[in-house]
Amino acid sequence: MTSIISPAFSGGSEADDDRPRTPSAGTRLREATQASRSNRHAGAINPIAVRPAPRKEGAADRAARKVLQTLLARLDGGRLTVIEADGTVTSYGAVTGPTGIDVTVHLHTPAVWKEVALKASRGLGESYIDGWWTTDDLVGLVQLLIRNLDGFDDIRNRWNRTTAPVADVVRRLRPASKSRDKREIAAHYDLGNDFFELFLDPTMAYSCGLFDGIETSLEDAQKAKFDRLLRSIDLQPSDHLVEIGTGWGGLAVHAAQQFGARVTTCTISEEQHRHATELVARLGLTDQVTVLLKDYRDLTGTYDKLVSVEMIEAVDWRDQQTFFKTCNQLLVPEGRMALQAITVADSRFDRVRNSEDFIKAFVFPGSCIPSVDAITRVSAKAGDFWLTQLDEFPQHYAETLHRWRDALFASEDEARARGYGDALLRLWDFYLAYCEGAYRERYVSLVQCVLARAGYVPTDLEVRP
């Protein structure tokens, strides 16, 4: 997801800033990655230290406040009330109409102003993880900030169009790396199965569910997602389905149990592979479902159908053509592929693919959210795929994230008992709220699409011989 705060600021002397010189969050998280070799709860997204809140206000903090207050003076779509550490209260914007948002933020140190001005969404999230500020409505705050991004996005998009012709030549020199991809996947998904079990439903699906209404349970919403994807490619008992991105095995066993298909599924997450393998064995499906600890690029053979659920976001933009080319080659000439993907607006893709926001820095290292245009353009170049179906479900993802966040914090005592600390819980609080707000405002979206190889001919209408 792209940054939700964009103004940059530089200025002020480090000499008048007395805050402790603790390592940055990026440094701390890199240290956590190294520590994970001996501590299974120390993945790259598990902060192992927090910075103490600086008490003294420096010149840089004052300058940053002045810059950001100028921007906040034009706030639209709601009201933001900021309560400073010294008790000063300032309100920006106004609540007008039924969609207006009213949010209060408590700053526990003036250093938050500089963090946000210098590092945008990374600074906002990092300072939240460190406990430097709190709010009565984290999702609402994200929504309110997104509502005021249009001007900033236009400026950043124009700058990217100016610099990209030169910068992309250099960026494309970065070689593909399976070992790097495995490390980046492990950073998130190998945090610990016992952590994800705290907030995922019994299917262990870590992707958007599809709801009939607010009364739909999360488990039923996830099964509805499975059903819709598999029906969209007309999965039959005689089919051999290949899944790229196993997750914790929910879709694979659903395809076997409910559709009678044979399934081969692959993942490069050791934790997910272990869980999925145990699940398949426990359900007595070992003759029907094969779980591989293997990079999708190493798959061989041909399959009747293919499905991939929110895995493409882990594929760097430079590797997307390889992804679709591999998918194309794995399918029989008349094969079809169902893809569920998080997307950004086409107008922002060329910029956000190279920028680092809170999500890339703290949650999904190496991730790249595609746009619909990027998916269709790259898939067409990679083989003989035709796009035959496309549907969008952003509000369903907002609801899914809301359910996950509620479930996680209903289980926070158990999380601590399992060795997951307050800093990690604050990181996940910010991450889930950040994403929910973005989906509610459709700043990012969720699509399901079907890509068919050229040999596929629809048969839903019988035509004359």
Tokens 């569920």 appear where?
Answer: 340
Selection from 201, 228, 223 nearest residue 403 by Cα: 201
Give me the catalytic one of 266, 327, 368, 435: 435
Q: How far apart are CA 6 and CA 123, in angstroms?
A: 11
Q: Which runs of consecutive H residues, i.e. helices, occur in 269-393?
A: 270-282, 320-330, 346-352, 358, 372-381
Please confirm, yes or no, whether 435 is among the known catalytic residues: yes
Cα torsion through 310, 204, 427, 145, rounded to 10 = 50
What is the DSSP code string of 234-256? T--TT-EEEEE--TTSHHHHHHH
Burial class (CB in 10 A: 0-12, 13-18, 19+), 261: buried
CB 226 within 8 A of CB 448: no
- Compute the 3-state secondary structure of the chain and give helix, strand, coil in percent, each to the nearest 5: 45, 15, 35
User: Sign of torsion, CA 76 161 447 294?
Assistant: negative
Using N-to-C axis directions, what is the helix angle for 111-129 and 422-440, rounded to 10°? 100
Selection from 294, 299, 327 nearest residue 312 by Cα: 327
The helix (run of H) or strand (run of E) holding residue 223 is: helix 218-232
The residue type at 357: D
Tokens 């998916």 appear where?
Answer: 375
User: Sign of torsion, CA 129 131 137 141?
Assistant: negative
What Å distances lie between residue 347 and 152, 340, 344, CA to CA? Answer: 13, 20, 8
CB atoms within 10 A of CB 14: 11
Residues with a catalytic annotation lie at 435
